[in-house]
Structure 1
Amino acid sequence: MMSSILFAVQSTVAKTSTEWNWSGTPYIIGACVLSLLIIPRIVRFPHVGPKMPLPFPEVFNNPSVGAFLASMSVGHLIGIPAVLGLTNLGVL
């Protein structure tokens, strides 16, 4: 059973975070696509393992699932700080 004191505390706590929105999504998608174009060309063994069924495999260098996951990870590692920086600068 919830105590009524918890409801009183919740209403008095100041809101310190911002709401999540879709404004940074295109930047993260762009960073992921850019990394998908670059990373499979510089990975030592990009074709080892099962292939990722991407459209236009010649554009993306026909990466394996591991190279695809590495590209998406790098894209998020670049895109999220870029969105946070642009948000702090007031651009987003």
Structure 2
Amino acid sequence: MLSTLVFAAQTTPATIDWNPSVAIVMIMCNLIAIAIGRYAIQKPGQGPDLPVPQPEMWDKFGVPELLATTSLGHIIGAGVILGLGNAGVL
């Protein structure tokens, strides 16, 4: 058991450091998730509204929708960043 844990600790891949290209990938993943969520959420506008002015086409996009879509965007972004980092692209 102990040898398995030591072996697992030695084979853990290194992750890449933060840099502007990592930030751009995360921002793009969040924007894609927001765009998908804008049309996929079935009952928009159920919670509080965003405290900033919004364009007319985003009138029913409130705090719950923003939190849900950016949470999904961060999950997708983490996977994309890890994948691109392991592939050597980032």
TM-score in terms of structure 1 length = 0.69
For structure 2, the residue ranges without an aligned partner over 5 or more in a row are: 1-12
Q: Tell me the CA shift for residue 85 of structure 1.
A: 0.4
What is the count of residue pairs matched by the alignment?
Answer: 77
TM-score after normalising by structure 2: 0.70
Point out the structure with max Rg over C-alpha. 1
Determine whether 1:28 maps to 2:26: yes
Q: Which has the higher helix share?
A: 2
Identity %: 34
Give the whole-Å Cα distance in 2 for the aligned partners of 1:55 and 1:30: 22
Q: Which runs of 4+ in 1 moved over 2 A?
A: 16-20, 53-62
In structure 2, the partner of 1:91 is 89
Q: Could you say what the CA RMSD is over the residues aligned between the two structures, in angstroms?
A: 2.1
Tell me: higher relative CO, structure 1 or 2? Use CA pairs within 8 A at least 6 residues apart: 2
